[in-house]
Amino acid sequence: MAANPFTYTKAVVCGIPASLPATALRMEETDEPVDLGKARQQHEDYLQVLTELVGEVHVIPTDERYPDCVFVEDPVVVCGDTALITIPGHESRRGETVAMKEAMEKIGLKIVEMLDPGRMDGGDVLFTGKEFFVGQSQRTNKHGLQQLAAAFPNFPVTGIPVREGLHLKSFLSMATPNHIAMGSSSAALDAKQLIETEGKFKYSYRYLQVPDDIGANCLYINGTIVHANNETFPKSCKVFEKFVDADVKAKIALSASEVNKVDGCFTCCSVLIN
């Protein structure tokens, strides 16, 4: 593995299917419609940024049978040269692992497949470069956590209960190699406390707290932070704009407003490979 675990050379993405607006999973039923055209334009903007930052982007063909297939983070966890193919927590998403496994094999990664009764969505897995924090949510169970620990034995693994929201990364993400971006909800604050008290690495992380939970979801790629723009989360955007750190060379603000409506965010829509 490279010295900096946030130096990426490849990314994997999948397009947005026409089936997403009507049938993608939602934590809560709302009348707020997803604008498919706008969602696809936002995804194109996202893809363009990934291409600029990483260079090599592999695109998995969109599959209308799986309305959530754009959220490629969930069927796999990649660390170094190993890809753990998960068993997603919701049964309707488990078919997505077939195309993901093929993509990981083409890239040349070592494949480890999760076994029943393990369940895991990659959105519950926060890798800090030093250790894993894994959300124990409706989608990820203790068996999944144990199998992740076995797949990546060089890194400590700590479970974090997720009492609100879909995934752990619905309110936490890495903003730099040393900063965890976090929302301001009770769930985010509880997770922070557990990271500080239960983390096996006993590393003193710094925190970048923003007003909005989903606004805390960002990508740190090769020295650049990709974060929510002023259109979607203006207060959180302002925090990122003012943030200064030696590990941050640039910032890019994007909108993911349409996938936000179906519980998606920036980290959900790509698999980054070191």
Catalytic center residues: 167, 268
Residue type, position 269, single letter? C
Residue 262 annotated in ligand binding: yes
C-alpha to C-alpha distance for 75 and 251, rounded to whole angstroms: 28
d(CA 146, CA 206): 27
What is the spatial distance between Cα 188 and Cα 190, in angstroms, rounded to a whole number? 5
Is 76 within any annotated ligand binding site? Answer: no
Q: Which of 213, 221, 214 is nearest to 264 (CA)?
A: 214
- Binding site annotation covers 26? no
Is 73 part of any known ligand binding site?
Answer: yes
Cβ(210)–Cβ(184) below 8 Å: yes
Number of Cβ atoms within 10 Å of the Cβ of 84: 26
Let me know: does 53 contact 79? Beta carbons within 8 Å: no
Can you read off the two tokens belonging to residue 159? Answer: 């479970």
Cβ atoms of 254 and 229 closer than 8 Å: yes
Q: Amino acid identity, residue 8?
A: Y
Residue 74 marked ligand-binding:
yes
Pairing of strands 76-79, 82-85: antiparallel
Query: Where would I find the H helices in the chain?
Result: 20-23, 36-54, 96-107, 142-151, 186-198, 234-242, 257-260
- The dihedral region occupied by 154, where left means phi > 0, alpha psi between -120 and 50, and beta the remainder, is alpha
Tell me: is residue 93 an annotated ligand-binding position: yes
Binding residues for substrate are: 25, 68, 73-74, 93, 139, 262
Binding residues are: 25, 68, 73-74, 93, 139, 262
